[in-house]
């Protein structure tokens, strides 16, 4: 059931969020980095007739019978799908016939129909792009707007790290939300596994940032609400220096996403504009090389460790998905963390389309998930 919320359409970007940025061709332009929503969206019920089930009480839903290609051009259903993804965190679909161009279209429409800024397009990943020469379809197509998730590439670039099934490290260090090192990070991401491992394994897990926030005490919620964090990803530059790989350093899907710093400041608690719910955001691998701002180094370490512990040691806010060939998952990076399970020796490959959303923000008037659903009584 959808939570109580106003049925609000997208609004023009407020003037205070308009900033001057440079486009790919070097010209200066006005752009808005805020969500165009003025309040949460209400699910209309257009997907209720399709078979579905919630995978856990807190996170995850599966639609066993839908082919996304059949509803792709129905704006009402795609908008409702985006709302459900934002509410449930991640939604699963089996054996999809969606081609890569339609996967890209779906990625962009999910955000457009739920108020993403007009300047936010599909992400061009600095490393996992066409420069690696990995085709995204059977015709040999290369595409910078598709992040190829390749076990072989990961094992090459991150040798002796967590991508080996023989690693002795803690697998839980991999929990993250996508591309939070960008000034304009992701709203929705779509992963289709085109080659699952021939041996067993390769599952992906997701964890609810909404529920992680609700596990905090009132006093710690108040503290977390007031904090920002610096997200940092230094590995890409290391790979560039070690392997001589070219990185995309100009336009990466939004005018603000340029350069090779891979460093951005975001609120520790983020409001999801689609649901209006608060989510823990400044946690996990995305701040491993970063820090909590305006506290001591030791305080930053303690807070980061505790926030990660909330994600890794609460299995009841997680959902685990075993992939078959052509299975597809769509999740909301504003409100969930995820991690791969590198317990296989074979090759695994998938195509990930990452939509860019709004500049992350915290609304002090927003509610937690439990508050919105009346579960805190």
CA distance 4 to 101: 35
d(CA 327, CA 90): 13
CB contact at 8 A, 198 and 190: no
Going by pLDDT thresholds of 50, 70 and 90, the confidence category of residue 157 is confident
For residue range 288-304, what is the model confidence (pLDDT) as tens digits?
999 999 999 999 999 99
Whether 331 is covered by a domain: the verdict is yes
Rg (CA), the chain: 19
DSSP for residue 371:
H
Range of the domain at 228: 47-372
Q: Which residues pair with 192 in a beta bridge?
A: 328, 351
Can you tell me the distance from the alpha carbon of 247 to that of 40, in angstroms, rounded to the nearest whole number? 37
Residue 36: inside a domain, yes or no? no
pLDDT in tens, 312-365: 999 999 999 999 999 999 999 999 999 999 888 889 999 999 999 999 999 999
The count of structural domains within the chain is 1
Residue 270 confidence (pLDDT) = 98
Residue 14's pLDDT is 42
pLDDT of 6: 37
**Cα 209 from chain centroid (whole Å):** 11
pLDDT of residue 163: 65
Helix (H) or strand (E) holding 292: strand 291-292
Q: 271 near 277, Cβ under 8 Å?
A: yes
**Which of 42, 334, 40 is closest to 188 using CA atoms?**
334
CATH code where residue 205 lies: 3.60.130.10
Q: Phi, psi at residue 301, to the nearest 5°?
A: -60, -45
pLDDT tens digit sequence for 160-199: 566 667 677 787 889 999 999 999 999 999 999 999 998 9
Q: What does the pLDDT look like over 192-223, one tens digit per residue?
A: 999 999 898 999 999 999 999 999 999 999 99
Residue at 345 is within a domain: yes
Angle at 59 between CA 200 and CA 342, to 5 degrees: 25
Domain assignment present for 3? no
Q: Spell out the residues 6+ positions from residue 133 whose beta carbon is closer than 8 angstroms to its own.
A: 142
Looking at residues 57-82, what average pLDDT do you find? 98
Please tell me the predicted confidence (pLDDT) of residue 21: 36
Query: Token pair for residue 286?
Result: 């995305």
Encoded tokens for 365: 């008037």
Residue 8 inside a domain? The answer is no
Residue 129 falls within a domain, yes or no? yes
Please tell me the distance from the alpha carbon of residue 110 to that of residue 114, in angstroms, as a whole number: 7
Domain-embedded: residue 202: yes
The whole-number pLDDT of residue 376 equals: 83
Torsion over CA: 293, 118, 143, 333 (sign): positive
**If DSSP codes are grouped into helix, strand and coil, which group holds residue 362?**
coil
In Å, what is the CA distance from 304 to each residue of 271, 301, 371?
19, 5, 25
What is the helix (H) or strand (E) element at residue 239, kind and residue range? helix 235-243
CB neighbour class for 342 (10 Å; exposed up to 12, middle 13-18, buried from 19): buried
What is the per-residue pLDDT for 61? 98
| pLDDT value of position 3 | 40
pLDDT digits (tens, 9 = 90+) for 226-271: 999 999 999 999 999 999 999 999 999 999 999 999 999 999 999 9
pLDDT in tens, 9-23: 555 444 334 433 333
pLDDT at 158 over 90: no
DSSP code for 110? H
Q: Is residue 135 part of a domain?
A: yes
CB atoms within 10 A of CB 282: 29
């Amino acid at each position: 059931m959808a939570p109580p919320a106003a049925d609000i359409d997208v609004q023009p970007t407020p003037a205070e969020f308009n900033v001057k940025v440079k486009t790919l061709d070097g010209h200066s332009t006005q752009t808005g980095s805020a969500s165009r929503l003025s309040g949460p969206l209400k699910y209309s019920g257009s997907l209720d007739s399709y078979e579905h089930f919630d995978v856990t009480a807190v996170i995850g839903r599966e639609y066993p019978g839908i082919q996304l290609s059949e509803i792709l051009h129905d704006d009402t259903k795609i908008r409702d799908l985006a709302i459900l993804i934002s509410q449930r965190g991640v939604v699963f679909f089996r054996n999809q016939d969606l081609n890569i161009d339609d996967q890209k279209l779906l990625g962009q429409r999910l955000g457009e129909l739920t108020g993403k800024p007009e300047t936010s397009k599909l992400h061009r990943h600095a490393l996992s792009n066409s420069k690696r020469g990995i085709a995204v379809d059977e015709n040999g197509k290369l595409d910078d707007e598709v992040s190829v998730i390749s076990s072989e590439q990961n094992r090459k670039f991150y040798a002796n790290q967590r991508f080996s099934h023989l690693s002795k490290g803690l697998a839980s260090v991999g929990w993250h939300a996508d591309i939070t090192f960008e000034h304009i990070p992701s709203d929705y991401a779509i992963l289709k596994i085109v080659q699952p491992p021939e041996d067993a394994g390769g599952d992906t897990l997701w964890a609810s940032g909404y529920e992680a926030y609700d596990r905090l005490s009132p006093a710690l919620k108040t503290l977390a609400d007031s904090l920002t964090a610096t997200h940092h990803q230094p590995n890409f530059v290391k790979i560039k220096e070690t392997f001589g790989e070219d990185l995309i350093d100009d336009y990466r899907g939004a005018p603000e996403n340029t350069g090779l710093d891979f460093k951005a400041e975001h609120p520790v608690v983020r409001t999801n504009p689609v649901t209006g719910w608060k989510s823990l955001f400044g946690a996990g691998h995305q701040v491993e090389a970063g820090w909590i701002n305006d506290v001591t180094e030791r305080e930053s370490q303690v807070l980061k460790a505790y926030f990660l512990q909330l994600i890794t040691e609460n299995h009841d806010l997680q959902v685990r998905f075993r992939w078959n060939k052509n299975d597809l998952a769509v999740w909301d990076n504003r409100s969930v963390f995820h991690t791969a399970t590198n317990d296989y020796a074979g090759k695994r490959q998938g195509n990930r389309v990452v939509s860019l959303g709004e500049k992350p923000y915290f609304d002090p008037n927003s509610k937690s998930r439990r508050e919105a659903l009346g579960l805190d009584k």
